[in-house]
Amino acid sequence: MLGVALILIVAGLLAVYFHLKAKIRPLLKLAEKIPGPKPLPLIGNALDFGLKIDYYSTVIRLMRQYGSIMRIWLGHELLILIADPNHVEKILGSNRMLDKAYPYRYLQPWIGDGLLTSTGEKWRGHRKMLTPSFHFKILEEFIDVINSNEKIMVQKIKKHVNGPEFDICPYVTLCALDIICETVMGVPVQAQQDSDSEYVQAVRKMGDVVMQRGFKPWLQPDLLFKLSPLAKVQEKCLAILHNVTDSVIQTRKRQFLQSRKDGPAKEENADIGTKRRLAFLDLLIKAQQDGFDITDAEIREEVDTFMFEGHDTTTSGICFTLFALAKHQDVQAKAVQEIKSIFGDSDRDASYNDLQEMKYLEQVIKEALRLYPTVPIFGRKISENVTVDGYEFPAGSNLVIIPYMLHRHPDYFLDPEKFDPDRFLQENSMGRHPYCYVPFAAGPRNCIGQKFATMEMKAALSAVLRRYKLSLEDPNEEPRLVAELVLKSAGGIRLKLSQ
């Protein structure tokens, strides 16, 4: 029996091998002309990345070895990595190459065909519908949500003042999750008060599942994935995540319909006499009731998409900027001086207008995002052959932009490893290639929430800087970068606080 089973397994593997080889044959001839490491049968270059998820250092090493255009195979998927602004513009700036690369499909069990993963007319229609949700007038209404949650974070890290270094990332993560839950769904999850909640844990675990499937070819086929322990982890996480979202959607929908039934007067807040602030979910429900063609399932997809996109990316940006401020004391002093010029000795909350006045802090954030881009890769699946710099990229391949390398291109950034916020002074930015700096992607599928993210980062950073001085135990320390769904430091971001 054992011998028969072994024969069946070998036969099955051979069948898969020849099927995949036939499938990728059209790609092989063109791919061979693109520089890159030699792939192995079935798994491609997967072993170059090892069994751990820490693949980013390998990507950077390979790009330094093979240049700003290179290819790798992960299973039967061909990835062509690029890091030159002219090449990036051809991809991100195109209105024809809008479909996302293959790893994004591993997000679909969670976020479905929301704005991040959808294509074609559905994406265009939803993008057009959602864009007004990020008008500055609507963003302005959420400043109190941001302030109230950041007050909690600032209070929680107070215990570390004048103590040894500590990792600030868990505090920022929970704060960002609280903010995104309240602004997107309209309900607080109080993650900062209950960091072990099922919802918080499910968000973290789903990110791990997605990354493992993306870089482990043996987990990519749905059949093999369903046989792995990760499938049960995903199933449990999805039940928690979708149940929460579905419950909130139905509750908010009932409230919305009741308010319409009662008339405009009932929408007024009795305490302050102003209209109730509409969360992102409320705006989707309103659009549905006003005749926009969007189902309850699609509403959940968009809510889950913004829950996924809206907290980890912001957390990464805040944490790496805090690290940069702690490392570069002169930059920190200048940022504090700007904040004092706005607030003086007042302890009042920051207003939307206050945040717009933080010009230097915005430069600091931009420079931190240049060196430590929160989204470590952007990918597009191409449906037609594309010629770039003499190479023909075959249809069916995945074009992958590596911002870490792009943002360090010496032709566009003098002394690229140096942290220098003055790079983003207006006079120093003039004439710079528009695609040499893409922390929020670029072109038609750029990040719809970048203004919200920048506002949240400014508010969080200024809240910390108004109360504490930041420093590092070792002034020469550099973060060890790892890419999960967002860029992180392997050991966290360890800071010292003083007052």
Residue list, annotated binding site for heme? 447
Q: Where are the beta strands (DSSP E) in 148-219?
A: 166-167
CA dihedral of 91, 92, 94, 100, whole degrees rounded to 10: 90
Is 486 within 8 Å of 369 (Cβ atoms)? no
List CB contacts of 305: < 8 A, sequence separation 6 or more: 111, 114, 115, 116, 117
List CB contacts of 427: < 8 A, sequence separation 6 or more: none
Which residue numbers belong to the known binding site?
A: 447
186/281 Cα distance (integer angstroms)? 7
3-state SS, residue 441: strand
**Terminal Cα-to-Cα distance of the chain (whole angstroms):** 72
Tokens standing for residue 177: 């999750």
3-state SS, residue 268: strand
Of 454, 317, 309, 406, nearest to 91 by C-alpha is 406
353/173 Cα distance (integer angstroms)? 25
